[in-house]
Amino acid sequence: MATMCGWALLDPPIAVAIQGAIDVGVNLIDTAPAYGAGHAEEVVGRAIRGRRDKVVVATKCGVKRTKDDFIRTLEPQSLYHEIDDSLRRLGVETIDLWQIHWPDPKTPLEEALEAILKIKEQGKFRYLGVSNFDIPLMKQARESLPFHGDGPGGRLAPQAHSWHPPCLGSCPGPAGSPDRPVPFGVKAHRPPRLVMGGAR
């Protein structure tokens, strides 16, 4: 769903594909502001209109798309703007899974997580995830902000555990998501289902 990497973004076919996927049982839609400089989120928002209760909406933060480049930033003020922009583009009141897209070497992770916790307390997203984090950063994130994980009160259901590194799937903290799992070989004979918070 992006113009990055030479992929074409064709709004009507993509919206139809998303709706068709929902019809056959796919219930996780993952996007990011960096994909098409926010345009992918707008397409997803239009596609899920009237079907919000059928999908888990996942998007990301921490990467801004410019005309020529991607800028990684987890500065608190940027995060505060990003969440509101994503909510507006997606047309939702709450994002189910908000993921840090890439680490930001210029912003201390603890500082970014403090801002993210404030955003969560405002009810703007339900669960925190990370993408493109190595194991040391995953452990740091889990130690700094353990409000999401496999423990009581907030967890990814067992169906999702195969998407997580085994060494990280059993400890509390933010969830991890793979980068481009289908092109890299994670395929299934039937659409995968991700169930969050026990809802089906």
**Residues acting as catalytic residues:** 35
Instruction: Give CA–CA dist 86/33, Å, rounded.
Output: 7
162 φ, ψ to 5°? Answer: -70, -15
Using alpha carbons, list the distances in angstroms from residue 98 to 16, 29, 174. 24, 12, 10
Instruction: Give CA–CA dist 1/120, Å, rounded.
Output: 26
Q: Is 124 left (phi over 0), alpha (psi -120 to 50) or beta?
A: alpha
Nearest to 43 by CA among 74, 105, 89, 3: 89
